[in-house]
């Protein structure tokens, strides 16, 4: 009987300490923040921030549906874009690095850099980016990287909620882009070519 009571207490303790998965169906992802952190929506719904009790912030950004790829040209532009933004605020970028990753989404890219303000104050930035129907970016900015283990766990927990929806979003985005870029494509007989022709409008 004593063993049964002890087992129930242990199970209750694990359940009480369990981390709740944050699910964003509109942006098609889920992720687990450290226990006790709270979520805030910013930037018109595309950006959510998980904030810890000491003020730490893990940011999740999801773009509009996109057919973009995190390819070599995209990666080549990342550092110049960061440098331009820093320069606009009288800051500079140091110790930049990027590394390809295979998880939690394949392919992914992890990056890190130090942003040095005009007064010499340093901010360490660690991030992860991938594309699966949308561009997803997770980022952690801090003065000390104190919560890096928590951020690494946060990144590992990231999942796409509906993989089929991400594929549909990418195809719909590609179709819209095709319409913007000129006349409708035609086959060899001059008939219009449309994605999933005859099966309704992609939404």
Q: Is 38 domain-assigned?
A: yes
Task: Considering only the C-alpha atoms of the chain, give the largest distance between any 2 of them, rounded to a whole number of Å.
Answer: 81
Q: 193 in a domain, yes or no?
A: no
Is 199 inside a domain boundary? no
Mean pLDDT of the chain: 79
Which of 183, 181, 186 minimizes the C-alpha distance to 197? Answer: 186
Q: Collect the ranges in the chain with pLDDT lower than 70.
A: 1-18, 164-203
Q: Where are the beta strands (DSSP E) in 132-199?
A: 135-142, 159-160
4 is a domain residue: no
| Residue 65 structural domain | 18-179
Give the CATH number of the domain where residue 161 resides.
3.40.1000.10
CB atoms within 10 A of CB 92: 13
Residue 12 resides in a domain: no
| 60: in domain | yes
Nearest to 52 by CA among 157, 147, 125: 147
pLDDT tens-digit series, residues 66-90: 888 888 888 899 999 999 999 999 9
Give the pLDDT of residue 50.
97
Non-local CB neighbours of 178 within 8 Å, separated by 6+ positions: 184, 185
Asked, for residue 8, whether it belongs to a domain, the answer is no
Asked if residue 54 is part of any domain, the answer here is yes
Task: Give the model's pLDDT for residue 45.
Answer: 80
d(Cα 81, Cα 61) in Å, to the nearest integer?
Answer: 17
What's the structural domain count of the chain?
1
């Amino acid at each position: 009987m004593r063993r049964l009571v002890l087992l129930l207490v242990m199970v209750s303790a694990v359940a009480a300490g369990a981390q709740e998965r944050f699910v964003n169906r509109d942006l098609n992802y889920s992720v687990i923040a450290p226990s006790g952190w709270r979520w805030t929506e910013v930037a018109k719904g595309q950006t959510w921030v998980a904030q810890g009790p000491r003020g730490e912030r893990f940011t999740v950004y999801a773009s509009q549906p996109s057919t973009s790829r995190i390819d070599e040209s995209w990666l080549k532009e990342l550092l110049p874009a960061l440098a331009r933004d820093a320069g606009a605020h009288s800051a500079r970028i140091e110790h930049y690095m990027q590394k390809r990753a295979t998880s939690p989404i394949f392919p992914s890219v992890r990056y890190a850099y130090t942003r040095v303000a005009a007064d010499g104050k340093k901010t360490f930035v660690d991030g992860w980016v991938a594309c699966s129907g949308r561009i997803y970016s997770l980022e952690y900015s801090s003065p000390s990287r104190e919560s890096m283990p928590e951020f690494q766990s946060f990144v590992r927990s990231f999942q796409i909620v509906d993989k089929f929806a991400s594929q549909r979003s990418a195809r719909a985005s590609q179709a819209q882009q095709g319409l913007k870029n000129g006349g409708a494509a035609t086959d060899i007989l001059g008939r219009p070519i449309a994605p999933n022709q005859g099966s309704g409008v992609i939404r």
